[in-house]
């Protein structure tokens, strides 16, 4: 299965040691020098595609022919073919390391975990065979990821997906705060809206969230950018149950749905978006928490990428 193949590639790239009783296992992290010292996996494929060169061993030659059928060469660069997805540029060594660094903690990096980081790199159009294992290793060595990783003590449960028929039809809304005052205007709150279908996040910092602020934000950041929503799901905050906000929703025929009071799971999409935003802000700022408002746009960019 694909999961077993991924696990196998991870074990090959990063061997582990175990005690005789098998109770303890310790990963041997690969260094940047070891990463760069690997032989270039693209060379045999390029030699076969461009020059027809095959290994002397017939079984190795057969495997190379089969593997090479999934690749092509364009402008002297090797690309991985796909029937339904864009071709992926094949990279190696320092280039792959730079791509991981920029995607994980660069200007639009979101400090993604190993599998999420590998999937994001694929969406950006790059590939190498040990990508999953390398990304897992890189994320595990990130100091900020270890400092601010969530400590989950709840038992595992099946995920319950929240669906929406089409993009930007249904939005969840919530307010985060109060937080450490930030910026010249002493921002303490975040108004956050998340689309159920695309998980697109819109957020803005406020010193204090008034009724008119909610209406203005929905008009400028939701309606004018994404069109009229059919429904907004929110909690029973005073800004959301006010007469002025209800009148605003009635004017644009927006259905306003309220979750159960004192039950965060009732608006799970908003809680998940809040957790994502706050985790990314923490990893970017480290000890300088009062600068969170300056990093908000960069965090939103990372979440949307």
Structure confidence by residue, pLDDT tens digits, 146-174: 777 666 656 666 656 667 889 999 999 99
Contact yes or no for 239/177 (Cβ under 8 A): no
Residue of 21 and 118 predicted with greater confidence: 118
Tokens of 80: 């991985």
Sheet strands (E) in 111-246? 126-127, 170-176, 189-195, 201-206, 231-234
Integer Cα distance of 293 and 245 in angstroms? 26
pLDDT tens digits, 19-74: 444 443 445 566 767 777 788 999 999 999 999 999 999 999 999 999 999 999 99
Q: What interhelical angle do 94-105 and 131-140 show, nearest 10? A: 50
pLDDT of residue 36: 73
In sequence order, what are the beta bridge partners of 194?
172, 201
Reference 236, options 264, 261, 257; nearest CA is 261
Mean pLDDT over residues 291-300, rounded?
89
Reference 106, options 124, 93, 80; nearest CA is 124
In sequence order, what are the beta bridge partners of 17?
26
Integer Cα distance of 233 and 211 in angstroms? 16
CATH T-level fold of 2-147: Endonuclease III; domain 1 (1.10.340)
Asked if pLDDT for residue 269 goes beyond 70, the answer is yes
Find the DSSP H helices in the chain.
2-13, 32-37, 42-51, 58-68, 94-105, 114-124, 131-140, 143-147, 211-217, 224-226, 243-251, 268-285, 292-304
- Model confidence at 202, pLDDT cuts 50, 70, 90, reads very high
Integer Cα distance of 140 and 94 in angstroms? 19
Tokens of 12: 């090959």
**What residues contact 85, with CB distance under 8 A and at least 6 apart?**
none
Tokens of 161: 């997906």
Integer Cα distance of 305 and 303 in angstroms? 6
Integer Cα distance of 199 and 194 in angstroms? 6
Q: Where are the domains of the chain?
A: 2-147, 170-304
pLDDT of residue 92: 92
- Model confidence at 18, pLDDT cuts 50, 70, 90, reads very low
Q: Which of 34-48, 136-150, 217-231 has the highest mean pLDDT?
A: 217-231
Residue of 288 and 169 predicted with greater confidence: 169
Lowest mean pLDDT among 27-36, 217-226, 288-297: 27-36
Q: Which CATH superfamily is domain 170-304 in?
A: Ribonuclease H-like superfamily/Ribonuclease H (3.30.420.10)
Lookup result for tokens 């009071």: 261
Integer Cα distance of 165 and 170 in angstroms? 9
- Model confidence at 3, pLDDT cuts 50, 70, 90, reads very low
pLDDT tens digits, 73-114: 999 999 999 878 889 999 998 899 999 998 888 777 778 888
Integer Cα distance of 217 and 171 in angstroms? 13
Rounded alpha-carbon distances, angstroms, from residue 41 to 31, 78, 244 = 18, 11, 63
């Amino acid at each position: 299965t694909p999961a077993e193949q991924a696990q196998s590639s991870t074990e090959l790239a990063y061997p582990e040691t175990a005690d005789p009783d098998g109770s303890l296992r310790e990963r041997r992290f690969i260094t940047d020098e070891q990463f760069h010292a690997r032989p270039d996996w693209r060379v045999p494929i390029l030699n076969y595609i461009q020059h027809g060169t095959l290994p002397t061993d017939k079984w190795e030659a057969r495997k190379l022919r089969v593997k090479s059928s999934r690749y092509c060469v364009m402008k002297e660069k090797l690309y991985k073919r796909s029937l339904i997805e864009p071709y992926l540029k094949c990279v190696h060594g320092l280039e792959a390391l730079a791509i991981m660094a920029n995607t994980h903690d660069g200007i639009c990096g979101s400090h993604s975990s190993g599998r999420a980081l590998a999937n994001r790199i694929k969406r950006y159009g790059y590939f190498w065979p040990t990508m999953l294992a390398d990304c897992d290793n890189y994320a595990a060595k990130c100091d900020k990821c270890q400092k601010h990783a969530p400590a989950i003590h709840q038992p595992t449960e099946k995920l319950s997906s929240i669906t929406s028929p089409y993009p930007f039809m249904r939005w969840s809304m919530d307010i985060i705060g109060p937080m450490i005052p930030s910026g010249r205007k002493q921002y303490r709150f975040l108004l956050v809206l998340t689309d159920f279908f695309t998980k697109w996040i819109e957020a803005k910092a406020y010193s204090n969230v008034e009724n008119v602020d909610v209406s203005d934000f929905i008009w400028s950041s939701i309606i004018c950018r994404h069109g009229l929503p059919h429904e907004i799901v929110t909690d029973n905050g005073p800004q959301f149950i006010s007469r002025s906000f209800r009148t605003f929703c009635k004017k644009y025929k927006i259905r306003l749905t309220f979750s159960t009071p004192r039950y965060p799971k009732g608006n799970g999409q908003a809680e998940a978006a809040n957790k994502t935003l706050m985790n990314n802000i923490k990893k970017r700022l480290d000890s300088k928490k009062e600068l969170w408002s300056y990093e908000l746009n960069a965090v939103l960019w990372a979440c949307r990428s």
